[in-house]
Amino acid sequence: MHRLILAMLSVLCLFSNCKKSSENLWPTKMLIVGTWELRSNGAGVVLMNFPPGNGNMYKYQANTYEKYTGGMLKKKGTYRIVKEKFKLTGKMMDRIIYDNDMNATTVYVFVGNDMLSYNVGGYSTGDMYARISAQ
């Protein structure tokens, strides 16, 4: 009887944790960690593709980032990701805040299938970054 109750409680905990994990931020915070290199930019009139090794990268660690352009470090600092309601749709999205600057233009981040993209001020930047091996 005790085993049956323990098994039922374990299943209940498993399902309740699934619901809670979808509401918290750990997936995006965990998925963004790594090195990302620019592969394409489609915000302009013409889609531009970038070959591997182009040196336009973001490197994210648990709370810090580095931005490289052409292989040169251009900026580094801290970041955090918060859930925020997107005003145009009312949908909750993951906002990335660099260097604790809450007054900066709003940037939303999307991570999936080893690809990273941004939405700035409500518009897609067109930049697609691919996860690459740490360098």
All structural domains of the chain with their residue ranges: 25-132
Cα–Cα distance measured from residue 73 to residue 56, given in angstroms and rounded to the nearest whole number: 10
Report in angstroms the alpha-carbon separations of 100 from 53, 64, 79, 95, 103: 30, 11, 7, 12, 9
Residue 105 pLDDT exceeds 60: yes
pLDDT tens digits, residue range 48-103?
999 999 999 999 999 999 999 999 999 999 999 999 988 888 889 999 999 999 99
Task: Identify the residue whose tokens are 């809450």.
Answer: 102
Contact 108, 96 (CB under 8 A): yes
Cα–Cα distance measured from residue 110 to residue 54, given in angstroms and rounded to the nearest whole number: 22
pLDDT average, residue stretch 129-135: 84
Residue 24 pLDDT exceeds 50: no
What is the band of 28 on the pLDDT scale with cuts at 50, 70, 90? confident
At 15 the pLDDT is 39
Containing 37, the helix (H) or strand (E) segment is strand 34-41
Q: CATH number of the domain at 25-132, please?
A: 2.40.128
